[in-house]
Amino acid sequence: MATVTTSSSRPYHVIIFGASGFTGQFVVEEVARTTGEGPESNLKWAVAGRSRKKLESVLDHVANTLETPELRCAVEVIVADVGHPESLAIMCKQAVIVLNCVGPYRFYGEPVVKACVENGAHYIDICGEPQFLEAVQLVFDKKARENGVYVIGSCGFDSIPADMGILYTREKFKGTLTAVESFLTVSTGPEGGCGHDATWQSAIYGFADAARLRSLRKQFKHKPLPELGAKIKRRGALFFCAEIDQYAVPFMGSDPSVVRRTQRYLCEEDQQCPVQYCAYAGVGGVCSVLKLLFSGFFFWLLVKCSLGRSLLTKFPAFFSLGLFSKAGPTQKQMEGTSFRMTFYGEGYTKGHDPSQGMPDGRITTEIRGAEPGYVVTPVVMVQAAMTFLNEPQSLPERGGVFTPGAAFGRTSLIRRLHRHGLKFTVTSQQGAS
C-alpha cells in the first residue's frame, strides 16, 4: 500500500473542518488514532473551525484520551468560518482533502463545497440530507470536473453502509443481482441510545422541505433507470418483518437517494445493471410502535409551521421521547449501542436471462458494527479519506460530485472498513450452483 504524500503547495493531507463540534471531535480522535497505523503514520493534518480556543481544547482532550501529549504541538489550528469566505479559501488552499463536519449541511455546507471546488481541495462530508447532497451535484458537478476536484458526500453512517453494502452484495451474488431490500436494526444497552441535536435538526428541515426536494430532482431531467427482472415490491408504512422479528418502517434517511444515484452512475458510466432498492428500519415491538406513532404524530403536526419547527428545535429530547438531545449520547450509551444492516437480494443466476421469468437466486448479506452515529461514522469518514489518498488510481478518472459507491466502488474501502470494525459477511445464498 502506498503511503500518503503532499505537494509543496498543500501542507496538509487532511483538514477537519468543524473539529470542535460534537461529531467533529470524534473525527479528530479517529484521525489521531489512524496516524499511528503504519502507512498512515506520515499523515499531515490540521483542525479548523471558528474558535481557536475550542479547537485547542479538543486537541487537549484527544491528547489526554490517547495519551499522546505531542499532539498538542504537532497539529496545526486553523481559524475558518462559513460566514467568511476568505477564511474558507485560505483553509482550502492548504488541504488535499477537507473533511467537513459542520451541519446541518443545508445551512452551512454550500460555502464549504464552493471554497473547496474553487481552491482545488477535495471534499468529504457525513451528510444525511438528500436535498443538500443532490443540490451539490446539480450546482457543483460541472465546475468540480473542470477543476479536477472530487466532492464525495454522505461518507458516514448515512450512507456508506447502505451504498457499499449493495456493491458488496452484488459482488458476492453468483449471477445478476436485480433487487435488494435492506433492514437496519439498532441495539442499545441498559443506558439506552440517543442522537445529537444536529441530526434532529436535519430531519426537521428535511421533512419541512420535501416539496423543494421533488422540485430539485426534476431539474436533473433524468430518464427512469431500467428495471431488469421482476419489479421490487414496496412494503407498507408499518409492517411486521419476520426476517428481523420486529416491526419496521421505510428508512427515512438519505440511503435510498444515495443508492439510487450510485446505481444511475454505474448504469450510465460502467453499463452495469442497476439494482432496485428499498430501505427499511426496524422499530421494535408493540410498545416501540406506540411511541413511534405518538411522537410521529406530533412531529408531522409541528414540522409544517415555523412555530412548530421552533418548538421541535428547542426541545428535541421532549418531542423525540429521548431519542435526540442537545447533549448527545453519553459514553456509556455509545459503548452499549451497536447496529446491524441486513441485505436481502434476489436476481438471476448465471445462465438465466433476467428478462425472462422470476428471479431464481437469492442472497443475504449483513454489516455489523458499533454505535453508528459517533463511533462508526468517524471511522467510515476517516477510512474514506485514507482510501482516497492511497488509491487515486482506483477513483473515477475525472473529478466531479460523487456518491461513496461511485467514488470508491473499485477501491479497497470495504476491506478497510472490515478491518476497522464494520464486518461485511454473506449469511446465505440460494439458487447458485
* Torsion over CA: 99, 103, 106, 108 (sign): negative
d(C-alpha 409, C-alpha 263), whole Å: 11
Say yes or no to pLDDT of 41 above 80.
no
pLDDT over 70 percentage in the chain? 97
Give the C-alpha separation, 134 to 125, whole Å. Answer: 13
pLDDT of residue 431: 80
Cα–Cα separations (whole angstroms), residue 364 to 180, 262, 410: 9, 21, 22
Cell triple for residue 238?
408499518
pLDDT tens string 136-193: 999 999 999 999 999 999 999 989 999 999 999 999 999 999 999 999 999 999 888 8
User: What own/partner pairs with CB < 8 Å and gap ≥ 24 does 230-236 have?
Assistant: 230/178, 230/179, 230/346, 230/358, 230/359, 231/276, 232/179, 232/181, 232/276, 232/277, 232/278, 234/278, 235/278, 235/280
The bridge status of strand 195-196 relative to strand 361-370 is unpaired
Question: Residues near 369 by Cβ (< 8 Å), separated by ≥ 6?
Answer: 161, 338, 339, 375, 376, 421, 422, 423
Region 239-247: mean pLDDT is 94
Question: Would the pLDDT of 208 be above 90?
Answer: no
Calculate helix-pair angle for 306-314, 286-302, nearest 10 degrees. Answer: 130
Q: Is the pLDDT of residue 7 over 60?
A: no
The answer to whether 105 and 23 have CB atoms below 8 angstroms apart is no
pLDDT of res. 366:
98
Given 3-state DSSP classes, what are the helix, strand and coil percentages for the chain, each rounded to the nearest 5? 45, 20, 35
DSSP summary character for residue 341: E
Cβ pair 171, 320 in contact under 8 A: no
Q: Could you report the per-residue pLDDT of 360-374, keeping only the tens digit for each?
A: 999 999 999 999 999
| Domains in the chain, CATH or no CATH each | 12-156+377-408 (3.40.50.720), 160-372+412-430 (3.30.360)
All three cell numbers of 30: 479517529
pLDDT for residue 4: 44
Place of cell 405518538: 294
Q: Is the CB of residue 368 less than 8 Å from the CB of residue 165?
A: no
Local structure of residue 374 (DSSP, 8 states): I
Residue pair 136/219 in contact (Cβ under 8 Å)? The answer is: no
pLDDT value of position 343: 98
Q: Which helix (H) or strand (E) holds 14?
A: strand 12-17
Using alpha carbons, select from 250, 210, 48 the residue that is nearest to residue 129.
210
Mean pLDDT, the chain, integer: 93
Residue 352, C-alpha cell as written in the block: 438465466
Residue 333 to residues 54, 191, 202, 287, 330, Cα–Cα distance (Å): 24, 5, 22, 21, 5
Amino acid 266 reads L
pLDDT band at 1; cut points 50, 70, 90: very low
pLDDT of residue 6: 44
CA dihedral 275, 279, 285, 286 (to 10 degrees): -120
- Return the pLDDT at 202: 87
- For residue 433, is pLDDT > 60? no
Question: In whole angstroms, what is the distance from residue 211 CA to residue 397 CA?
Answer: 35
Q: Which of 167-187 are b and which e, b meaning 16 or more Cβ less than 10 Å from the residue's Cβ?
A: bbbbebbebbbbbbbbbbbbe
Q: Which residues of 213-234 are buried (b: 16+ CB within 10 A; e: fewer)?
A: beebeeeeeeeeeeebbbebee
pLDDT bin (cut points 50, 70, 90) of residue 59 is very high
Instruction: Give CA–CA dist 182/370, Å, rounded.
Output: 18
Name, in order, each residue with C-beta under 8 angstroms of 218's C-beta and a sequence gap of 6 or more. none
Q: Where in 63-217 does DSSP place strands (E)?
A: 76-79, 95-100, 122-125, 150-152, 175-187, 195-196
Q: How many residues does the chain have?
A: 433
For 233-293, the DSSP string reads PP--SSEEETTTTEEEEE--SSHHHHHHHHHHHHHHHH-PPPPEEEEEEEEESHHHHHHHH
* Amino acid making up residue 234: R
Secondary structure letter of residue 102 according to DSSP: -
Give this prediction's pTM.
0.94
Among 66-70, 104-108, 353-357, 416-420, name the one with the lowest average pLDDT.
353-357
- Report the pLDDT averaged over residues 202-218: 86
